[in-house]
A and B are shown apart, each in its own frame.
Chain A
Amino acid sequence: MITVAVFYILAIISLITAILVIVFKNPVYSAMSLVFTMITLGGIFLVLGSPFVAAIQVLVYAGAIMVLFLFVIMLLNLRAPDSISKEFRDRKILAVFFGLFFLGIIIFAISLVQAISSQARNISLREIFLTLMTKYLLPFELVSVLLLIAIVGAVLIALPEKK
């Protein structure tokens, strides 16, 4: 019972901060709202039964990726005004209506799914790594190669040109 209450509180907070991400014109405020959204999503992951994924979400997503975003926003010194596209500036209501229509279609699709039952069991770290090292070893190695490529590529792209 208390897990359901915590879930709904976190869900409402994450929805409000997610809406604030697109409402704020200043990119720094937007990024901070996204950090809050990710942290509350980490809490929701905890309620849904995997504490490890929740920890990884807060550490990696909110802690590293969003900090990188904030570095770049402040490095490029982006200003607040005019962050909403000219075509949509006068048609915000149309944009929201389009989004709600999309939402309605998919809610209808989900309502056709049969009742979902579940087990009440947390996913432990030991299980995750046993499966990661045996069944998912190849994707694990490939993802590390992908990270290496991304690092090298990012440094190469962002290097200043030699005069």
Chain B
Amino acid sequence: MSSLILSGLILSLALFTIGVIGVVIKRDALSVLMSIELMLNAANLTILSAAKKWGEVDGAILILFVITVAAAEAGVGLAIFIHLFRFKGNINLDKQTLLCEGESAERIYE
């Protein structure tokens, strides 16, 4: 049984790393949000693997809360992306300059 828990931890680690790579290299805002969801799933797997050691129920409840908060965050994030798309015409993260200061915007995005 302990090998299952350890394998679960290593699998969640691998999924988390894949999510991190996805967040860094994707420039589509929706793909970044999907990689964030992947990272949240990896965290859920970590919580459940670790909770299996003691058989307590608190791990399952924490996972319920994490899933709920992820749903709320995905909903609001998607609403923001819809608004941004309506405003700008694309959701290319490389081209967003609203939060950049003056000259550095042109320097980064030639």
Contact = CB atoms under 8 A, between A and B. Distances in A.
A76 B49 contact: no
Interface residues of B, number: 71
Given A92-B25, A157-B79, A4 B30 contact: no
B8 A34 contact: no
Contacts of A98: 21, 24
Contact of A147 (B6, B33, B71, B94): B71
B9 to A, nearest CB: 6
B28 A45 contact: no
Contact of B67 (A60, A78, A151, A157): A60
B7 to A, nearest CB: 7
A121 B80 CA distance: 43
A21 B38 contact: yes
B48 A21 contact: no
B18 A44 contact: no
B37 A65 contact: yes
Interface string A37-58: 1100100110111101100110
Nearest to B49: A48
A60 B76 CA distance: 16
B53 interface: yes
Given A57-B44, A121-B55, A154 B18 contact: no
Contacts of A73: 30
B52 A147 contact: no
A143 B63 CA distance: 13
B48 A82 contact: no
B82 A64 contact: no
Given A7-B4, A147-B71, A84 B41 contact: no
B41 A69 contact: no
Interface in A70-122: 72-73, 75-76, 78, 82-86, 88, 92, 95-96, 98-100, 102-103, 106-107, 110, 115-121
Given A103-B14, A131-B57, 5 more contacts: A41-B41, A48-B49, A86-B27, A88-B25, A102-B17
Interface of B: 1-11, 13-15, 17-22, 24-28, 30-31, 33-35, 37-38, 41, 44-45, 48-49, 52-55, 57-61, 63-65, 67-76, 78-83, 85-86, 91-94
Interface of A: 3-4, 7-8, 11, 14-15, 18-19, 21-22, 27, 30-31, 34, 37-38, 41, 44-45, 47-50, 52-53, 56-57, 60-61, 64-66, 68-69, 72-73, 75-76, 78, 82-86, 88, 92, 95-96, 98-100, 102-103, 106-107, 110, 115-121, 123, 127-128, 131-132, 136, 139, 143, 146-147, 149-151, 153-155, 157-158, 160
